[in-house]
Amino acid sequence: MPIECAQVFSSPGEVNVPPSSGVACHLRDPEEGEADSDFELLMKAHRYAGSRDELNNHKDHSQEKPSRLKQRFLLKKKPELNTSHSSARLLEEVLAIEKDEDNCLVHCTTYYYSVKIPFSQEPSYIWVGWVTSKFHHRDVTFDLDSICTVTVTLGDEWGKVHESVKRSSCYMVCAAEGSSLSHSRSSSGLEIGCLVDTATGLLTFTANGKELATYYQVEPGTKLFPAVFAKATSSNVFQFELGRIKNVMPLSAGVFRSERRNAKPQCPPRLCVQHLTPMRWTRVPDHAQPVEVTRLEERYGWRARCTQIQQIMTLYIPEENRSEVTLDISSDF
């Protein structure tokens, strides 16, 4: 099942992108004489606009407040009551943050999936990315340079370019680029992430969370299928990761219409991985030819013979995966 880009792309400024720092956390002001919790101090440290010295002075001032409530808290309150109260308040604030984050993800148009490559597998034999429904692969090994790519440029009679689109049926990145970016592969392996923005048609890639320099721009209405080309160098080759990253929707939200607003990754049983198998099509006659079947002897078995032999000359077009009879082509001219 593909993920489809928008029919009309919008400019990057018109896309509702969630803030990079996540969602804002609204903390209530502490009462008179009440000390700030560690969680509140941490949140204030992140949103504080002053210098580090001013922040330290603010912390010292809050800790040096004379308060009877604080003294009573230190002398009479039980530790377990204080712990339960702080935990309940912390849980309430965390749930509020998650709710605000889900509301922001509803308007997100970027979707993500990743492929995890174990340490024993050679990354130079792994290609990760997207393909279209018009993609056909006929070679045993994958080579991105052999993929047909066409650049369509529209301009006027004075030579001014109005639009230039690069068309292809395959948008892949080699996992070796990710391993060279991180310089050293961890024992857990390498994870290549693929992101698609359906509102702008921009395809980007990451390696262990770091953005790669490779990116693609597709046309409006393009349908993309997640794809991986691999040559095994170990028993464990790769595995699909259908999770998500911060401020980005999972792949299931873009593929399944019923999960369009669901920020939690889903993997229904009907989701399956298709394998490409090499096939070659050959044109056959429109009508079956008469065939005689005879049995000569028991030791020789049966013999089939076609009495009326028909020969044709065809032209095979691999890009369109079809054949044309040369006589039909000559009659059209």
Measured distance CA(325)–CA(330) in Å, rounded: 9
Tens digit of each residue's pLDDT (9 = 90 or more) over 211-233: 999 999 898 889 999 999 999 99
For 314, 317, 327, 328, 330, the CA distances from 333, given in Å and listed in that order, are 16, 19, 10, 9, 6
One-letter-per-residue 3-state SS of 94-117: HHHHHHHHHHHHCCCCEEEEEEEE
d(CA 34, CA 63): 10
- CB-CB neighbours of 190 under 10 Å: 23
Please, what is the average pLDDT of the chain? Answer: 73
CA trace torsion 19, 20, 24, 30 (10° rounding) = -150
What integer is the mean pLDDT of 144-152?
Answer: 84
pLDDT of 78 over the 80 cut: no
Distance, in Å, from the CA atom of 177 to the CA atom of 185, rounded to the nearest integer, reads: 12
pLDDT-based confidence at 51, cuts 50/70/90?
Answer: very low
pLDDT at res. 118: 92
User: For residue 52, what is the enclosing H or E element?
Assistant: helix 52-63
pLDDT at 52: 45
pLDDT at 90: 58
Q: Say what the pLDDT of residue 50 is.
A: 45
Show me where the domains of the chain are located.
22-105, 110-259, 291-332
Cα 307 versus chain centre, distance: 57
**Percent of the chain with pLDDT strictly greater than 70:** 63
> Higher-confidence residue: 224 or 148?
224
| Run of H or E including 323 | strand 322-325
Could you count the other beta carbons within 10 Å of the beta carbon of residue 161? 9
Question: Which residue's structure tokens are 């229904």?
Answer: 268
Q: Which pLDDT belongs to residue 17?
A: 40
Minimum mean pLDDT range among 12-21, 132-141, 200-209, 234-243: 12-21
Please enumerate in sequence order all residues whose Cβ is within 8 A of that of 156, keeping only pairs 6 or more positions apart, or say none.
162
Q: How confident is the model at residue 146 (pLDDT cuts 50, 70, 90)?
A: confident
Distance CA 103, CA 79 (A): 37
- Predicted pLDDT of residue 166: 81
Topology of the domain covering 110-259: Jelly Rolls (2.60.120)
Instruction: Return the pLDDT at 44.
Output: 53
Rounded Cα gap, residues 249 and 223, in angstroms: 17
Report the residue count for the chain: 333
pLDDT over 90 at 113, yes or no: yes
| pLDDT reported for residue 116 | 93
Strand, helix or coil for residue 57: helix
pLDDT in tens, 275-321: 877 766 666 667 777 888 888 777 778 888 887 777 777 887 766 66
Query: 165 forms bridges with which residues in the sheet?
Result: 152
For residue 109, the model assigns a pLDDT of 84
